[in-house]
Chain A
Amino acid sequence: MVTFPGSLDDVDAARAVSKAGGEPVSLWHDDADIKAVDAVILPGGFSFGDYLRAGAIASLSPVVETVVKEAAAGLPVLGICNGFQILCEVGLLPGALTRNAGLRFVCRDQRLRVEDVNSPWLRNYYVGQELVIPVKNGEGCYQISKDELSELERSGMVFLRYIEENPNGSLADVAGVRNAQGNVLGLMPHPEHAIDVLTGPSTDGLGFFSSIVDSLVKAG
């Protein structure tokens, strides 16, 4: 769990990891040492105040440099919201996230459909599964060239899509994308806020965290 200055949902992602049976380990933006963790989560928030562009400054931090290197070697990485923006900025995931179509921050319980499960983060979901998970962002409008988008679609890299209502004008209703190998995943919705019906709209988000724990345990 990486904390950047301005990270906000880091405690929430840590809670979700614990609930799924994993052990959350805190990583600090300024420290390139990722303490031999088995997977990395870049949490939501406004790292560095979203100054310049969301995720732009965080993408230059020492910890992200290590994450980029390790991801190439197969380290599972999940970017949530601001974490997704960072993964796009640093080039681990294709595309970019821009201001919401309505130019306003949007917080709502969002209906989503799982489109692909070829990732250690997704093994406890099935294709076509519908989820309700909160979105809350100001810059969640996914952008990519037409050609690249059709390539993503063809190879199943668009793993999550908004259904019923698109909250931010995202191209092709894209809510989340993965890399070709499936170890790096980014999404705008906040699964860590859908792990307990007391504090969230559902428990639909817990699957991301239980999937990675199960994958790692199985890989042993």
Chain B
Amino acid sequence: MKFDTVADALRNSNTPQPFSELGLKPDEYERIKSILGRRPTSAELAMYSVMWSEHCSYKSSKVHLRKFGEIKTSKNVLAGIGENAGVIDIGDGWAATFKVESHNHPSYIEPYQGAATGVGGIVRDIVAMGARPVAVMDSLRFGPPDSADVQRVISGVVAGIGGYGNCLGLPNIGGETKIHASYEKNPLVNALCVGVMRHEDVHFSKATGEGNLVVLYGASTGGDGIGGVSILASEVFDETKSAKRPSVQVGDPFTEKLLIEATMEMFASGLVEGIQDLGGAGLSCATSELASNGGAGMRVRLEEVPLRDSDLSVEEILMSESQERMCAIVRPENLEQVMKVCEKWGLKASVIGEITGEKNLVITWNYQEIVNVPPRTVAHEGPEYQRPFVMPISNSKGHTPCTGADFGLKSENLKEAILRVMSGTEVADFSAITDQYDRYVRGQTVLSANADAGLVRVSDDSTKGLAVSLDGNGRICAIDADLGTQWSVLEACRNVAAVGAIPQALTNCLNFGSPEDPEVMGQFVAATNGLATAATALDLPVTGGNVSFYNQTGETAIVPTPVIGALGVIDDVHQHASSEHLDVGDVIYVVGELLEDLSGSLLLETMGLSESTMSLPEISYENEARLITVLPALISEGLIRATHDISDGGLVTALVEMVRGHRSQALSVVPDDDVEPFVWAFAEFGGRVVCVVKGQSVARFEKVADERKLTYRRIGDVISSNYAEQALEIRGFCQFTHEELIIAFQKGMLLKH
């Protein structure tokens, strides 16, 4: 094999190098030369190019993400931004970690493998923190499902998430799937993983201790995903360029399962000092990050890396994104034990290097130096851009609420409008998707698909539960990215509160178009401002996140899609609320403040009445914070049979979603006579939740709500019905049979059974 050594670089200092083909700008290339005091070797060039790509370096976003780290919060954060995943204290010696990651571009090219490896990557991030992964979740965006290409993407993505997660043995506890034309060629696949550990098991990915060994274990290294990170994730899809199919990684969930078990065993026996997973940028990333985090030098003998393809060049070995690999830092005396664990689980393992007392990361190939770099310059001191941005014009200061009458909607057409919204893709029957995911495995799943938030018990010997919700709303973020993001944070927190948990931390996945477009960059900056504002107001840490840029086809970017993950804790999982239980005689309430406003609503979008000049209402954090604090208290007291968050499609959608699946109950409700019927049915702001209160608990419920100053309104009752009869009665206006609703739900199905 021919390869370029450090000696060659010193000798032939003027050899032209293909830096721009690797995605580096001329000034970035010059910077590498000035760091090294010579031209980089081709292996170094490969490392810098991949680590300085947008995907790995966050070079366009970093300056705007710093504000998340500056949020002051009373919550006990054990590991924050910058780690593989943030960790928070959840009490009783337990800690939880969670993170979302995007795999958008690969999922368009190769939907099954793109989505599958997205799940695999985020699970390894959780494992690297020392946690046992306990559940996965996903937030998906597709184009309108009536085109063949979108069907290809949807069915592949769903099968990929299921295929990987099911085989890995992690329950899928929910998520969301939404449709918009801008996602047609830019689907979004954001995967979340939650992990649980004891406080003492939290690990950091750093290389420390001179003489300690670097052990690579898991799958062997092949040619998959080479250049995937820097090329695939940083280029706008353009029909004039050739398909980069081979760049998508291929996943093997079986090996990942073995990798998890082996890693758990090593952590439990105290055999490893630090661990880093190999994801984007493979060995380049893992070795430079470990060394940089630990402030140590490292020597790596690249020929020790087990290869699946012996023809790989040194650059390819360094850039390969072969899945299911981990890098551990091991004391020499523990090596034998580590090897035994790997052998037990049938995993390849090899010592590829050691920690040194030097400053640099030195990589050799058969004793010849091919890399000699300060690790921080690769991993953490990459370029940082202040990209020009144009802040979107926010009309919220002069916001005027709108009602159905403003659009000429008449109350005699209420039923028709409701059925039309119910027939859309947002309120559809998602069972053809969620039935492909195992929600039971591990035996701790309390709530999953169809619930406001997924809920898992922490362990068999604890009653504590973790509730997680993932929410994004491109429709309102397109109107106002700052306020839209704030409302999205509130929705995620409300969902967690609606099952009975108190929100403790936020994570995010920020999906946008090209940062080189000042308007897109402006949307991004606005969204980060919105997230920071909401997190500060709610006293919640942002423990990590992910940015995905370049979600755009030609000049057309996706609608701004910040997806927010909220994690909440419930002390006794038995005292949770679901959205499904109804009993005849229960009383239906709406809690929270109604803003009489149809701005940004699903109704207006469905009716084609949305206008780009629209604005969103401002938020009263006092009201919102009260709702997400008081609701879990009401639930833990056992007063509430069921809850459901009011969001897309308003109150009527929430009611319909609660009654579907029931055969012998119906909901009978009366609209407020001082509110316009369309506003009553479809308004989505402010934060409100439907609470179905047990008949005998009504007085107590109202007393507690009064004491805690929570606004509530009694709107109706659960009555008996039979399947052929009514499901929902809106007294004075219209009623719906179960059958009518089922037909509507099936119209919007994205996948058929």
Contact = CB atoms under 8 A, between A and B. Distances in A.
Interface stretch (B60-68, B252-260, B375-383): B252-260
Contacts of A104: 159, 162, 435-436
Given A46-B254, A49-B167, A49-B253, A12 B446 contact: no
Contacts of B440: 12, 107, 134, 136, 190, 193, 199-200
A11 interface: yes
Contact of B441 (A9, A48, A50, A108): A9
Given A9-B441, A190-B440, A108 B435 contact: yes
Interface residues of B, number: 33
Nearest to A134: B440
A199 B134 CA distance: 14
Interface residues of A, number: 29
Nearest to A44: B441
A51 B460 CA distance: 32
Interface string B410-450: 00000000000000000000000011111111111110000
A15 B443 CA distance: 9
Nearest to B431: A108
Contact of B167 (A50, A193, A199): A50
B123 to A, nearest CB: 14
Contact of A6 (B159, B254, B435, B436): B254
A216 interface: no
A102 interface: yes
A184 B230 CA distance: 54
B6 interface: no
B449 to A, nearest CB: 9
B444 A199 contact: yes
Nearest to B441: A8
A9 B162 CA distance: 16
Contacts of A105: 159, 162-163, 166, 436-438
B167 A136 contact: no
B753 interface: yes
B438 A107 contact: yes
Contacts of B442: 8, 11-12
Interface string B574-603: 100000000000000000000000000000
A192 interface: yes
A128 B439 CA distance: 28
Contacts of B441: 8-9, 12, 44, 136
Contacts, number: 87
Looking at B168, B253, B440, B444, the one whose CB has the most chain A CB atoms below 10 A away is B440
Nearest to B439: A107
B341 to A, nearest CB: 13
A74 interface: no
A78 B163 CA distance: 25
Interface in B450-471: 457, 460
B723 interface: no
Contacts of B162: 104-105
A138 B437 CA distance: 10
Nearest to B752: A102
Contacts of A50: 167, 254
A11 B443 contact: yes
A11 B573 CA distance: 20
B439 A45 contact: no
A5 B258 contact: yes
A48 B254 contact: yes
A58 to B, nearest CB: 12
Interface centre among A45, A107, A136 (most CB of B within 10 A): A107
B345 interface: yes
Contacts of B437: 105, 107
B518 interface: no
Interface string B334-377: 00000000000110000000000000000000000000000000
B435 A107 contact: yes
Which of B166, B437, B443, B574: most chain A CB closer than 10 A? Answer: B443
A106 interface: yes
Interface string A40-60: 000011101111000000000
Contacts of B253: 46, 49
Interface in B154-179: 159, 162-163, 166-169
Contacts of A44: 441
Interface string A102-141: 1011111000000000000000000000000010101000
Interface of A: 5-6, 8-9, 11-12, 15, 44-46, 48-51, 102, 104-108, 134, 136, 138, 190, 192-193, 198-200
25 contacts: A5-B254, A5-B346, A6-B258, A45-B169, A46-B169, A46-B253, A46-B254, A48-B254, A49-B253, A49-B255, A104-B159, A105-B159, A105-B437, A107-B434, A107-B435, A107-B438, A108-B435, A136-B166, A136-B440, A192-B443, A193-B443, A198-B446, A199-B443, A199-B457, A200-B440
Given A102-B753, A190-B440, 19 more contacts: A5-B345, A6-B167, A12-B440, A12-B442, A15-B443, A46-B166, A49-B167, A49-B252, A51-B254, A104-B159, A105-B166, A134-B440, A136-B440, A138-B166, A198-B574, A199-B443, A199-B444, A200-B440, A200-B443
Nearest 7 pairs between A and B by C-beta? A49-B254, A8-B169, A12-B443, A193-B440, A46-B167, A136-B438, A105-B436
